[in-house]
Amino acid sequence: MNQNDQHQQDEPQNKRSSDMDRHVGLRVRERRIMAGLSQQKLAEMIGVTYQQAHKYERGLNRISAGRLFEIAQALAVEPSWFFESLAEKGTPYELAPRQRLCLEFARNFSLIKDEKQQEVLGQMARSLASPHPK
C-alpha cells in the first residue's frame, strides 16, 4: 500500500473525528449559553485561555477526556450530554434558528438580576404560550 492509498483510507476516520469535534464544541457552546456564561468565564472556570475555549467550541481543537470532564462539571452536566443528539454515522446536528432563539432567550433571561422582572417575564411567556379561545 502506498502513502496515497493510506491517506485515502484515513480520511473518513479523520472526517468523522472532526465532525464529532464540531458536534461536541457546538454542545459546549449551547450549554454555556444556557448557563448564561461568557466564553471568558467558562475559560476561567476550566483553566484555559479565552482563545482556547473559542477553539473548543468551534471544533478546531479536540477536547481531551479530562478537559471534557472539567467542562461538564463547570456546566453542571454529565460528560455524555455533549454526545447527545449525535446523528447516526457521527454526523453533527445543527441548531435550528428556533433553537438558537431559545438559547438566546435563556441566556438573556439568566442575565436579568431582578427576580420580580424574571417572574413577570415568565408569566408573560406562560400567557403567550397558553391556547387562546377564538
The model's pTM: 0.62
* Whether 59 contacts 22, CB under 8 Å: yes
Alpha helices by DSSP H, listed for 35-132, are 39-46, 50-58, 65-74, 97-111, 115-129
What pLDDT, on the 0 to 100 scale, is given for residue 120?
A: 92
* 70 and 19 assigned to the same domain: yes
* 63 and 114 assigned to the same domain: no
* 104 and 75 assigned to the same domain: no
Q: What is the mean pLDDT of residues 111-118?
A: 89
Q: Please write the tens of the pLDDT for every residue from 25-84.
A: 989 998 998 888 899 999 999 999 999 999 999 999 999 999 999 999 999 999 998 988
* 131 and 87 assigned to the same domain: no
- The answer for residues whose C-beta is within 8 angstroms of residue 19's C-beta and 6 or more apart is 90, 91, 92
CA distance 122 to 116: 10
| Structural domains of the chain, count | 2
